[in-house]
Structure 1
Amino acid sequence: MTVTLHQDDLPADLTFGEAVAVDCETMGLNLQRDRLCLIQLSAGDGNAHLVQFRGGYEAPNLRRLLADPQVTKIYHFARFDVAAIERYLEVTAAPIYCTKIASKLVRTFTDRHGLKDLCNELLGVSLSKQQQSSDWGAAELTEEQQRYAASDVLHLHALRQRLDEMLEREGRRELAEAMFTFLPTRARLDLAGWDEIDLFAH
């Protein structure tokens, strides 16, 4: 595994193929208060690229990739990441595949849909969450932080493949795709203040 840390943007010549795994690290879970600190990306090749934001969010190369309609973005819990990217980079990072939603649609025999659980149960991979609550706004990220951040994207391609097989088996692929398509709207509702309200409720 190679983890490459970039400052404020990706190199212009870096490509990720037709699907890129994406994750974000923020100062907390309040999208209005807690700034975006880091975006992690992987092509599914065992390597990760981290973009640390220290001088602003212009990031033209990263924004171009995230907005590219020809590149699927694979997330775990896309709702939060898509909203954070929309809030700070001002792009809609779609089209989307969310491993958490896919898991909830097909793994109805359990309520364990966290990334650690999916990697362990579907791939036999054990993830450490020790750095989950560390200071992502620090000027210098430790090697432990970088390895943790990378681990959040390294296995998403493989999870997508396994979950796609289950979606096909259970006849729920179209339902999953409809939910993935709706996610940018759900993220915008969160940003607009409807994060805790079900607008479809009576």
Structure 2
Amino acid sequence: MANHLHHHDLPDGLSLGPIVAIDCETMGLLPRRDRLCLIQMSAGDGDCHLVQVARDPAPAPNLCRMLADPATLKLFHYGRFDIAALFQTYDVVTAPVWCTKIASRMVRTYTDRHGLKQLVQELLGIDISKYQQQSDWGAADLTPAQLDYAASDVLHLHRLRDELNRRLVREGRQDLAQACFDFLPTRAQLDLLGWADSDVFYHA
């Protein structure tokens, strides 16, 4: 496994394949307030490419092209947050997408533990550390421990998707899950526009 740190954008000519696992680190949990600091990506090959985002983000044409590419599936864990953070920073709609947290909620109804750490432990038998989760991602120089933590959030998503997809098929819920994935970019924009805590479908 190797971490490759880039500044502002992915390098020219880099291809991460047809399915890219993506996660974001921000200064907090409110995308409209807390800036995006780091984007980590993996093709599922054990390597991680990380893009450090400046306080005043520079254009990232290579990254944005990949995020919007209809031929590239973007794989997230809790994509609702990451898609919103990416849209807030780059004004790009990330699609198509697949979310392991949504899939977990739809097939692991025997538990309320749907965090990445729990998923990786149960489905893959791997322990990952979340120690660096609340560290300062806005620092100019990120530590090797921070980079390793960030990488761990994407390195297992391809295998998780395979296992969760088998369970979705087994339970006959793959079409419903796909409809949820298709709606995620819209859900993220509703969050950014102020409807994060209200149900727009609710009749009152």
Scaled to the shorter chain, the TM-score interval is: over 0.9
**Residue correspondences, number:** 202
Aligned counterparts of 2:12 and 2:113: Cα–Cα separation in 1:
39
| Aligned residue type for 1:148 | Y
* Structure 1 equivalent of residue 74 of structure 2: 73
Which residue is 2:21 aligned to? 21
- Take 1:167 and 1:12, find their aligned partners in 2: how far apart are those partners? 37
Q: Would you say the 8 A contact 1:57–1:88 is kept in 2?
A: no
- 1:57 CA displacement: 3.6
TM normalised by structure 1 equals 0.98
Q: Between the two proteins, what is the percent identity of the paired residues?
A: 61
- How far 1:199 moved relative to its partner? 1.3
**Residue equivalent to 1:153:** 154
Q: Which residue of 1 aligns with 2:30?
A: 30
Q: Which residue of 1 aligns with 2:177?
A: 176
Where does 1:55-70 land on structure 2 (aligned, <5 Å)?
Answer: 56-70=57-71
The residue number in structure 2 matching 1:90 is: 91
Q: Secondary structure at the match of 1:189?
A: helix
Correspondence 1:98-177 to 2 at 5 A: 98-177=99-178
Q: Distance in 1 between matches of 2:121 and 2:149?
A: 16
Give the aligned residue type for 1:112. R
Displacement of 1:198 in angstroms is 1.1
Q: Please give the alpha-carbon distance, in whole angstroms, between the structure 2 residues aligned to 1:111 and 1:201.
A: 24
2:195 partner SS: coil
Deviation at 1:201, TM superposition (A): 2.0
Structure 1: where are the runs of 5+ without partners?
none
CA distance in 1 between partners of 2:49 and 2:80 (Å): 21
In 1, distance between residues paired with 2:169 and 2:143? 41
Distance in 1 between the 2:99 and 2:192 partners? Answer: 19
- Normalized against structure 2, the TM-score is what? 0.98
C-alpha deviations, 1:98-138, integer Å up to 9, x for none?
00000000000000100000000000110100000000000
Q: Matched residue of 2:6: which SS?
A: strand
Whether the aligned pair in 2 keeps the contact of 1:4 and 1:49 (CA below 8 Å) is yes
**Superposed displacement of residue 56, structure 1:** 1.6
4+ runs deviating over 2 angstroms: none
Q: Does the 8 A contact of 1:57 with 1:89 survive in 2? A: no
Paired with 2:129 and 2:202, the residues of 1 have a C-alpha distance of 37
Aligned to 1:45: 45
Of 84-93 and 55-64, more deviation after overlay is shown by 55-64
Cα displacement (A) at 1:89: 1.1
Matches within 5 A, 1:180-199: 180-199=181-200
In the TM superposition, what is the alpha-carbon distance from 1:181 to its structure 2 partner? 0.4
Kindly provide the amino acid, as one letter, of the partner of residue 8 in structure 2: D
SS for the counterpart of 1:23 is strand
Q: CA deviation at 1:40?
A: 0.4
